[in-house]
Amino acid sequence: MTRPFWRAKLLPAFLGLLALNALAFVAWTLPRSLRQRNAQARAASARAELQLEKQNLFQSLEAVEELAREPGLQLATRSVRREDVDGAPLERVVMTLPLEGSYPQLVGFLRGVERSKRFLTVDGVALHADAESGGSLQVDLSTYLRQAPGARQSRRRGR
């Protein structure tokens, strides 16, 4: 009994091409899906690290503002600048605070910075006496925050 042509010649060729197509599909999509899953995991980790970094920065700024409000000072618009620390996984956050109040209030603020549980450094102080308001003080404070791995490269690229 002879088999028909399609069964004898075409069916094995079709099944071979189908198997070859399936292998090519797996060989093409498996590495891509693994890379995509790995990239998604890295992105989720980076988002979590960024959120932690923002939270630490926000807490530091809030602590400094509370130190200014505690003695009753008026805090004008503050400015914040972030810098990488060479040779260490740290970031220096420089805060410039223009404050107005009486001399005892200004001294009270500086004492509060000195006693703070946070690591704060006073980088510069400019005091201007004013007969009406008592005086104004511009303080440059710095704090250092731990940098997440890879944060330095992402900041250079513009985040």
Mean pLDDT, each 10-residue run in order, the chain (159 residues)? 78 93 93 91 86 83 88 86 88 90 87 89 86 79 79 53
Please give the helix or strand (H or E) that residue 102 lies within, else none: none
Please report the pLDDT score of residue 159 as a whole number: 46
Residue written as token pair 């006073």: 122
CATH number of the domain bearing residue 133: 3.30.70.60
∠98-103-107 over CA atoms, to 5°?
A: 75
Please report the pLDDT score of residue 39 as a whole number: 92
List the domain range (segments joined by +) for residue 122. Answer: 5-156
* Count of structural domains within the chain: 1
Please report the pLDDT score of residue 9 as a whole number: 83
Please report the pLDDT score of residue 87 as a whole number: 87
Please report the pLDDT score of residue 24 as a whole number: 94
